[in-house]
Structure 1
Amino acid sequence: MKINMDELLDSMLEGISNMDYVRSEDIPNIELYMDQVTSFMDEQLNSSKRYDDDKILTKTMINNYAKNNLLPPPVKKKYSKEHVIVMIFIYYFKTILSIKDIETILTPITEKYFGTDSAVDVASIYEEVCDTAKSQIQNLKDEVREAYETSQNTFKDMEGLSDSDREYLQLFSLISSLSFDVYAKKALIERIIDELPEPVHKKK
């Protein structure tokens, strides 16, 4: 195994720089049928797939979201722009959070701001949090670079290792460091959620 670690770092940092989100203005401001929603999500989030056959959103997923109180029901089998935004939130949250946790954090949003005429609505909340997340890109790149540089200093003085073994162990060290970062942040998120009240759904 031979991995060019500098090229790997450059590739990771480039990937972070290219991270983007579905902009609110790109979401159709008309009601969509389920097939149209799944097609839109697949097109917009295709770059986030790891494998070509990964599913972004399916009809079964949408039905399960509604069944688990994550998504307000459609109106005459049609989904609004706000429905799509909620599904985008779910798409990102579900990679690290349970369905129950997602319900806990999304219910106050959907119950208070979904379908409202006030200045604060689901779309404005989405834009605000996405802009905030986007502003953290440089900090994330700095963290990854620091983790990489730290990993390159591991196993340097350990005797009995071939160059290829040392290279792999340094790569393993980098993966472990990044994994611990994700683990720690996930634990913090869950602790915050545990302090939130149980979700209360209004009767429709």
Structure 2
Amino acid sequence: MDKLHEIVEGLNLENNLTIEEMPDIDLYMDQVIQLFESKFARSKRNEDEKILTKTMINNYAKGKLFFPIKNKKYSKEHLILIGLIYQMKGALSIKDIKIALDQLNDKVSKDEISLEEFYRSYLHLSQNNQKQFMGIIEENTQEVERQVSLFEDKDNDYLEKLLLATTFVNMSNYYRRAAEKMIDEINKEQETE
């Protein structure tokens, strides 16, 4: 499939907010939104899509997805948590994200963990995932081309795109379901404490 390389490049997989891109000063909500909009603009599917809105941030705060802000300002730790929420919300429910982040928020509030160190680990793993993803894309593309070559239909380009799309959805569902099971385990452990 000719355009696949172009499509994958357009995903901007490396698009994570790094620690170095986060200011050392606390930000007001509008500044947080502006930071996320500028960083993730290339990841949007279309121009109308919003990366982050006041309503989203307020809902995250009301839902206690991150520890309370001070003086209407968001710290670097808040930016890290909002970044994690942004990445997770594509696959998980807000309820699952809250369960996943509850203990982390608690540990950060008690100074039991460095959120920056945790986030650096996340970014490192994210880079590894990108490399693995590229290999999986290549493997799936080759297998789809092999499967489509068996068809008598002459619209191979369409069939390749459709089979790749269904394969990607299938893999996405596997990963989402595995993440949900992991969240269920976290929830069980929290309930027994």
1:11 aligns with 2:6: yes
Letter in structure 1 aligned against 2:144:
S
Aligned to 2:108: 113
Question: Following the alignment from structure 2 to structure 1, what is the Cα–Cα distance between the partners of residues 117 and 5?
Answer: 34
**TM-score (ref. length: structure 2):** 0.90
User: What amino acid is the match of 2:187?
Assistant: P
Establish whether residue 85 from structure 1 lines up as the match of residue 80 from structure 2.
yes
Output the amino acid matched with 2:165: I
Distance 2:35 2:171 in 1: 32
Corresponding position of 1:33: 28
Greater per-residue helix proportion: 2
Q: Any idea what SS the aligned residue of 2:166 has? A: helix
Provide the aligned C-alpha RMSD in A.
Answer: 1.9
Structure 1 unmatched ranges of 5 or more:
none
TM superposition shift of 1:9: 2.5
Contact 2:16–2:123 (Cα < 8 Å) also in 1? yes
Partner of residue 182, structure 1: 172
Question: For structure 2, which runs of at least 5 residues remain unmatched after alignment?
Answer: none
What does residue 128 of structure 2 align with? 135
The percentage of aligned residue pairs carrying the same residue is: 33
Number of positions where the alignment pairs a residue of Structure 1 with one of Structure 2: 190
Greater C-alpha Rg: 1
Equivalent residue, structure 2, for 1:191: 181
Runs of 4+ in 1 over 3 A off after TM superposition: 12-18
Query: What secondary structure does 1:32 align onto?
Result: coil
State how far apart, in whole Å, the 1-side matches of 2:179 and 2:105 are: 20
Change (3 A) 1:115 1:62: farther
How far does residue 148 in structure 1 lie from its aligned partner after superposition? 0.7
TM-score normalized by structure 1?
A: 0.85
